[in-house]
Chain A
Amino acid sequence: MSTRSVIPFGPQHPVLPEPIHLDLVMEDEKVIEAIPSIGFIHRGLEKLVEKKDFNEMVYVAERICGICSLGHGLGYSEAVEHIMDIDVPMRAKYLRTFWSELSRVHSHLLWLGLLADAFGFESLYMDCWRLREDALDMFEQSTGGRVIFSVMKIGGIRRDVPDEMLKDFYQRICRMEEELKVLSKPFLNDMAVQTRLRGVGILTAEQADALGCAGPFLRASGIARDIRSTGYCAYGDVDFEPIISNDGDSYARTECRIKEIFQAFDIMKQLLNKMPGGDIDVPVKGFPNGEYMMRIEQPRGEALYYVKANGTKFIDRMRVRTPTFANLSGLVETLKGCDLADVPILVLTIDPCISCTER
């Protein structure tokens, strides 16, 4: 009869850039149960909303995370704009959507690099991050920042992007697309890579839905839930279908994210082709009064922004439900029955962002 033991995984581990802890209950080499533990770097940023002017709070929201920075600023701004009934100009909506997709590209490329590193394919890891640099360069040129952009504001955006620069971006996106076609082949076709990913950490559609999972982690289990389909920002003006896979394993999650990068290129090209002119912001008068729950599709999945305002310049409550927070239950489920050697890969396949989770 085998004996059970508990192996602590994290908070410091070579595969984890950020701290999360798992108590792995093991029977020989198999994981029987995993109990997650977070809270090592909780910052309490949501509480700052009581002390910061609601306009300044955009900067705080952007600093929740360095990878999802743009989405956090966008989600918070949209929630306040809904409360104040502000109609953001179309050009600002298009540029917000363009940057959101560029953010998806850089986030997924970062994740692909980390995955390649986790299964020991270092040159592939560096190639992914080299390609990601092009996305960061475009961010730097258009917003002035590579990590924190500070380009969102209540009522629109802070910087316009010249049309010549947008034309140049179109060409660069086409070049990135060609490079990604080459780069994606090892992930999708290499036998050694498939051995590490195929059939590992299967999450069925029923499990993913019942556990409230989000993003590519959910869609790789066959559920076509993508909040962009609600048409917020300028998503209502572009053609796209949620990308899904029915296998629900680590390979399916990788495939979904790769296809989502190609889809992001396509959406960005559609936006550039019909970029409207005009203003980029509207004046904001008065203070917000009311409450709203905004949902957006961050690169890692659905994020929720609840804002409750009281008619003064300070807001009563801002709550951010990040996709990693929602995916922790799904992670625990996928770990049940897996080999100890697969735990690092499985933790990675939810694309964990602990910085977001510890907002």
Chain B
Amino acid sequence: MNTEFITVNPENIIDESQKLKFKGYHLMQQCATRIPDAYELIYSFGKDLEVKQLKITLPEDQEISSITSIYPCAFIYENEMHDLFGVQIKMINIDFEGKLYRTAIETPFK
């Protein structure tokens, strides 16, 4: 598996996702990792057995646009990142507003 991560600015995520969609890539997963004062987001896209991975460093107080307008299935990953880490994502097509996971404490992975 290709383990190279392509660094992308948070404001460019829609454009980059759109380019991959045009090239025929499907969304494999999105996940967040906590780093000091920020989140590291990894978006993985696949085409046949090939993989492209985008890495985004998102400051803790900054919002990122949802890619559900391009990949509707992203709603489940984006709600997960919001509920577990507190990543602020705007315009998710199905926004559970923090209710996807019924956790005892808010944003437990933050």
Contacts and interface: CB of A to CB of B under 8 A. Distances in A.
B101 A39 contact: yes
Nearest to A208: B26
Nearest to A321: B29
B48 A225 contact: yes
Nearest to B1: A295
Nearest to A229: B49
A227 interface: yes
Contact of B102 (A39, A82, A212): A39
Contact of A212 (B3, B28, B49): B28
A281 interface: no
A96 B109 CA distance: 32
B72 A321 contact: no
12 contacts: A36-B76, A39-B99, A44-B108, A212-B27, A212-B73, A304-B28, A304-B29, A308-B33, A317-B33, A319-B31, A329-B75, A329-B76
A357 to B, nearest CB: 9
A36 B26 CA distance: 21
Given A212-B73, A293-B51, A42 B31 contact: no
Interface of B: 1, 3, 5, 26-29, 31, 33-34, 42, 44, 48-49, 51, 53, 71-73, 75-76, 83-84, 94, 96, 99-103, 108-109
A282 interface: no
A257 B71 CA distance: 28
* A-B CB proximity, top 5 nearest: A329-B73, A39-B101, A321-B29, A317-B33, A319-B31
Given A38-B101, A44-B108, A293-B3, A211 B49 contact: no
A321 B33 contact: no
A310 to B, nearest CB: 11
Nearest to A218: B26
B109 A211 contact: no
Interface of A: 35-40, 42, 44, 46-47, 82, 209-212, 225, 227, 229-230, 291-295, 302, 304, 306, 308, 316-317, 319, 321, 325-326, 328-330
Contacts of A330: 73
Contacts of A225: 48-49
A211 B3 contact: no
Contacts of B94: 35
At the interface, is chain A mostly helix, strand, loop or mixed? mixed
B45 to A, nearest CB: 9
Nearest to A41: B102
B103 A39 contact: yes
A250 B109 CA distance: 38
Contacts of B99: 37, 39
Contact of A293 (B33, B44, B48, B108): B44
B34 to A, nearest CB: 8
Contacts of A294: 1
B107 to A, nearest CB: 11
A40 B102 CA distance: 6
A229 B48 CA distance: 10
Contact of B49 (A37, A230, A306, A319): A230
Nearest to B108: A44
Contacts of B102: 39-40, 42
Contact of A291 (B3, B28, B48, B75): B3
B72 A42 contact: no
Contacts of A308: 33
B72 A211 contact: yes
B96 to A, nearest CB: 8
Nearest to A211: B73
